[in-house]
């Protein structure tokens, strides 16, 4: 007779796309990154500083129980030692503290009669949670940057002032001398400026705080958006790319491959930082079960290129052409006209918006005067691809629209402006160039979110726009190999 014994941690609904529960299967895959001898050492200490379901701590406890069998022979004594001396957690909320204790101790109160722990006089055990408040200055939290308008709440409501990153003093945790820090931190929160890729990331705060504890190993699951973009991530990305202690990055371009049913723009990754490691990082990309492995320096470029095959193409291009199209692309909102702006009844300019085209008065355009009387190209700011990701066939289009802009035409912030030309021929050639698979592949190599920004054109070579360019001519110009051409052709859709 077959029995069915489901793991309840596989059944937990995610709190949101910003706070995602880790499945036991994925947790164990990540734990396999750690040296096996850690689980047979009774002095090693583990902590999850962003505990939600408690899955990491439970699976660590299971491994320690097996690994310490020969050292602590009595089963009960072994369990007590593991739970009291080796495993610790800091919950993200009061709810997750209860879930975590239930997972690890079999009771939401550590000193309950049903708890696995014995002779303990507090409810928390080693899973800490205390309510913290944000510290407001200029309507933002000085620790995490949360918006006071969104998170200044009554006592009855959760503050989302995560304890680990709101601690004034880390000395207590430093004195504990944790060997392994592991977790899946909250990803972002509303800072008053929007949601999705425009919301403020917070996972970087957990990583920065964790490094201050100086562990031997640090492993965390985070969104992959840090590779090339994200609000407030430039300094964090620079620090990560120049940290030679990052031993491995395992990348999932589609988050559903590790978090079923969860849509996270740009995908997710986990990294293994090892205190005593110093060298190149192993990069493993997992797309629908297809795995690509490479080893390289993270700081070769100022952003991280996830596709190792694309790296070779970009190296080849940069060796032959140092100027980039980024130099002639505008910043966001080139004419300071919000997307909601629509044409007027009268005006001496033509306004291009996402919904319509019509007249607009020049006196209302207070920015971008250098473009107004010139030929240019309007480039859709929003990617055609959902969340900046490939479709089910692994293909992308990148641009929604590429439109030739005539003199006296302006646009809303729906578009970026490329070029500033004296004649139509240059604008036509530039638009044709942008539509090539070659160009869109190079942008796609660093575009991990919905929004296209000026810096995403950093690897696109600036060519002589007196000439008309096609993919065939570009492949020949940069001496691309057959397999490189095939990669571009198979991953980028046609665009007329």
**301-322 pLDDT, tens digit each:** 989 999 888 999 999 998 887 7
pLDDT of residue 4: 43
Work out the average pLDDT over 358-380.
96
Q: Which residues contact 452 (CB under 8 A, 6 or more apart)?
A: 379, 380, 381, 382, 383, 398, 399, 416, 443
Residue 425 neighbours by CB distance under 10 Å:
13
What are the angstrom distances between the C-alpha of 395 and each of 246, 431, 474?
30, 21, 20
21-30, 50-59, 106-115, 258-267: least confident range? 258-267
Q: What residue has token string 């050292």?
A: 71
- The domain limits of the chain are 8-306, 314-491
pLDDT of residue 155: 80
Q: 8-306 architecture in CATH?
A: 3-Layer(aba) Sandwich (3.40)
Judge if 8-306 and 314-491 fold alike in CATH terms: no
Kindly tell me if the per-residue pLDDT of 389 is higher than 90.
no
pTM: 0.89
Tell me how far apart the alpha carbons of residues 293 and 280 are, in angstroms, rounded to a whole number: 13
Tell me how far apart the alpha carbons of residues 325 and 34 are, in angstroms, rounded to a whole number: 43
Q: Which tens digit of pLDDT belongs to each residue from 441-467?
A: 999 999 988 899 999 999 999 999 999
**Alpha carbon 371 to its chain's center:** 34
Helix (H) or strand (E) holding 102: helix 94-105
Residue percentage of the chain with pLDDT more than 70: 94
Q: Give the residue among 139, 189, 141, 134 at the shortest CA–CA distance from 163.
A: 134
Partners of residue 383 on adjacent β-strands: 399
Q: Which two tokens stand for residue 479?
A: 């001496």
Q: Note whether 409 and 353 are within 8 A (CB).
A: no
Buried b (16+ CB within 10 A) or exposed e, 386-421: ebbbbeeeeebbbbbebbbbeeebbbbbbbbbbbbb
For residue 448, the SS3 value is coil
Mean pLDDT score of the chain: 91
Q: Which two tokens stand for residue 292?
A: 């690509």
Q: Note whether 209 and 165 are within 8 A (CB).
A: yes
pLDDT of residue 194: 47
30-39, 61-70, 117-126: least confident range? 117-126
Q: What residue has token string 């199209």?
A: 325
Q: Where in 224-348 does DSSP place strands (E)? A: 246-252, 268-274, 281-287, 290-296
pLDDT of residue 11: 54
Q: Which residues contact 321 (CB under 8 A, 6 or more apart)?
A: 461, 462, 463
Q: Which two tokens stand for residue 297?
A: 């320096």
Q: Note whether 379 and 452 are within 8 A (CB).
A: yes
Work out the average pLDDT over 216-220.
98
Q: Note whether 134 and 143 are within 8 A (CB).
A: yes
User: What is the CATH class of 314-491?
Assistant: alpha beta
Work out the average pLDDT over 9-17.
57
């Amino acid at each position: 007779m077959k029995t069915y014994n489901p793991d309840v941690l596989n059944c937990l609904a995610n709190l949101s796309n910003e706070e995602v529960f880790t499945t036991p299967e994925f947790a164990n895959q990540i734990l396999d990154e750690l040296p096996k001898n850690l689980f047979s050492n009774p002095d090693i200490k583990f902590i999850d500083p962003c505990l939600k379901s408690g899955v990491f701590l439970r699976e660590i406890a299971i491994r320690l129980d097996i690994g310490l069998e020969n050292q602590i022979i009595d089963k009960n004594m072994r369990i007590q030692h593991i739970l009291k001396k080796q495993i610790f957690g800091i919950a993200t909320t009061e709810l997750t503290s209860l879930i975590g204790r239930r997972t690890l101790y079999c009771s939401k109160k550590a000193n309950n009669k049903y708890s696995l722990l014995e002779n303990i006089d507090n409810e928390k055990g080693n899973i800490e949670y205390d309510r913290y408040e944000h510290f407001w200055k200029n309507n933002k939290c000085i620790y995490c940057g949360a918006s006071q308008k969104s998170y200044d709440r009554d006592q009855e409501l959760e503050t989302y002032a995560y304890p680990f990153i709101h601690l004034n003093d880390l000395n207590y945790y430093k004195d504990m001398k944790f060997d392994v820090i592991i977790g899946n931190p909250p990803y972002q929160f509303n800072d008053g400026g929007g949601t999705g890729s425009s919301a403020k990331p917070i996972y970087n705060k957990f990583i920065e705080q964790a490094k201050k504890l100086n562990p031997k190993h640090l492993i965390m699951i985070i969104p992959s958006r840090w590779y090339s973009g994200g609000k407030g991530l430039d300094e964090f990305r620079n620090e990560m790319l120049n940290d030679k202690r990052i031993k491995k990055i395992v990348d999932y371009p589609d988050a559903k491959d590790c978090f079923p049913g969860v849509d996270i723009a740009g995908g997710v990754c986990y990294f293994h930082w090892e205190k005593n490691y110093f060298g190149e990082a192993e990069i493993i990309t997992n797309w629908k079960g297809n795995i690509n492995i490479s080893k390289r320096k993270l700081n070769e470029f100022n952003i991280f290129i996830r596709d190792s095959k694309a790296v070779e193409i970009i190296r080849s291009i940069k060796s032959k052409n140092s100027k980039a199209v980024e130099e002639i692309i505008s910043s966001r909102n080139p004419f300071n006209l919000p997307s909601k702006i629509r044409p007027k009844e009268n005006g001496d300019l033509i306004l291009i918006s996402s919904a319509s085209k019509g007249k607009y008065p020049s006196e209302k355009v207070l920015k971008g005067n250098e473009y107004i009387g010139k030929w240019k190209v309007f480039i859709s700011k929003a990617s055609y691809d959902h969340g900046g990701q490939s479709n089910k066939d692994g293909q992308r289009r990148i641009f929604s629209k590429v439109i030739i802009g005539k003199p006296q035409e302006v646009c809303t912030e729906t578009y970026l402006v490329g070029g500033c030309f004296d004649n139509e021929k240059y604008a036509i050639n530039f638009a044709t160039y942008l539509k090539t698979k070659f160009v869109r592949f190079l942008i796609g190599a660093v575009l991990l979110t919905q929004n296209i920004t000026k810096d995403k054109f950093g690897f696109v070579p600036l060519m002589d726009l007196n000439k008309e360019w096609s993919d065939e001519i570009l492949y020949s110009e940069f001496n691309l190999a057959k397999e490189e051409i095939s990669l571009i052709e198979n991953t980028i859709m046609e665009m007329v």
